[in-house]
Amino acid sequence: MSMRTQLLKGLLDACVLSIIKEKEVYGYELSQKLLDSGLGNISEGTIYPVLLRLQKKNLITSEMRASDVGPKRKYYFITPEGEEELENMVEEWNSIVKPITNLINKE
């Protein structure tokens, strides 16, 4: 497994929560937002287990909604617990990324 894959696996929960915090999304829309952010194509086989795990932790919730085209879609929403957890994740990320960047980019 590449370093990028390992890092992304550990950070995907925060990325998903961050996207859902901005606006409720359905699964395919979430994968497109991850792709548009530059993270590459994240497969449904990766995204849906993350969504299920976040729901089990009560960090997100979902509801089925009618679609203008095709079948109903499951939309995901962040919970207050999810917002708090995201804040903790961002704090932790910021406390790690700055020192590592300084070390790696040291000339």
Q: Which domain holds residue 52?
A: 3-104
Strand order in the sheet with 60-65: 25-26, 73-78, 60-65
The letter for the amino acid at 77 is F
- Tens-digit pLDDT string for the chain (107 aa): 677 777 777 799 999 999 999 999 999 999 999 999 998 888 888 999 999 999 999 999 999 999 888 899 999 999 999 999 999 999 999 999 989 999 999 76
> Residue 76 — φ and ψ, nearest 5°?
-110, 140
Note if the pTM is more than 0.75.
yes
Strand pairing class (60-65; 25-26): unpaired
User: CATH number for the domain including 87?
Assistant: 1.10.10.10
42 C-beta neighbours (distance < 10 Å), count: 20
Name the domain count of the chain.
1
